[in-house]
Chains A and B, each alone.
Chain A
């Protein structure tokens, strides 16, 4: 860990402010995001959702063959 790495870090006070702004922005976007989520959930393709969640039915497992970094 170098001092250069730390120089990128916000102060705790600034970090709290960024977290607060993150939450405020999400709440402002809420309706649109929630609608998008509901649409996605409605058309949920179970296999795709399992893959997106890093989860998958047993017959299609890739144990020992997939990339370690595969999501």
Chain B
């Protein structure tokens, strides 16, 4: 593993630890944040993959494989009481100024412990990673229209990025 991979991996771990603290102490959410490793992929395949309420067809094993080619990529698995509640991936812009979340999926299991709260966990982990890297902005790429009011409540506003793609954008305090 190259120096770059090791350093970004260490920074992601720091971001997970920081976000776990803030989510538990500030928000009162008992979550565990990890890379999307074998545990998460096995839980995904066992509980999500063929669930009838699943909204998307993303095959997370393939997603992770393709995203891992970029050392700086963002990924997170959200756990609560050993239940996999959310998965997300994103990437940092070449200039390291923007972290964009590309894919976010909450558990389709209606009774999962973080129902309605996955976005808080993903955004907190992403903000921690972006802040540590020194990014200025966090983007949620191509948000669903119906979710916009909730993202606005979280401090995001609607914008277009440099590629003219619609994003929800949030400036980060460093």
Contact = CB atoms under 8 A, between A and B. Distances in A.
Contacts of B104: 53-54, 71
Interface residues of B, number: 63
B10 A55 contact: no
What are the 10 tightest A-B residue pairs by CB atom distance, in nearest-first order?
A53-B106, A52-B147, A55-B106, A51-B147, A53-B118, A26-B22, A56-B55, A49-B116, A8-B96, A54-B104
Grouping DSSP codes into helix (H, G, I), strand (E, B) and loop, the B interface class, with mixed when no group exceeds half, is: mixed
21 contacts: A1-B4, A1-B71, A8-B96, A9-B4, A9-B7, A10-B133, A18-B131, A19-B15, A40-B153, A40-B154, A49-B115, A50-B106, A51-B150, A52-B147, A52-B151, A53-B115, A54-B106, A55-B105, A58-B52, A70-B56, A71-B144
Given A10-B134, A37-B27, A71-B104, A57 B144 contact: no
Nearest to B29: A37
Given A54-B105, A55-B108, A67 B142 contact: yes
B137 interface: no
Contacts of B18: 19-20, 22-23
Interface string B47-71: 0000011111110000000000001
B103 A71 contact: yes
A26 B26 contact: yes
- Which of under 10, 10 to 19, 20 to 34, or 35 or more describes the interface residues of A? 35 or more
A41 B116 contact: yes
A70 B22 contact: no
B25 interface: yes
A67 to B, nearest CB: 5
B150 A40 contact: yes
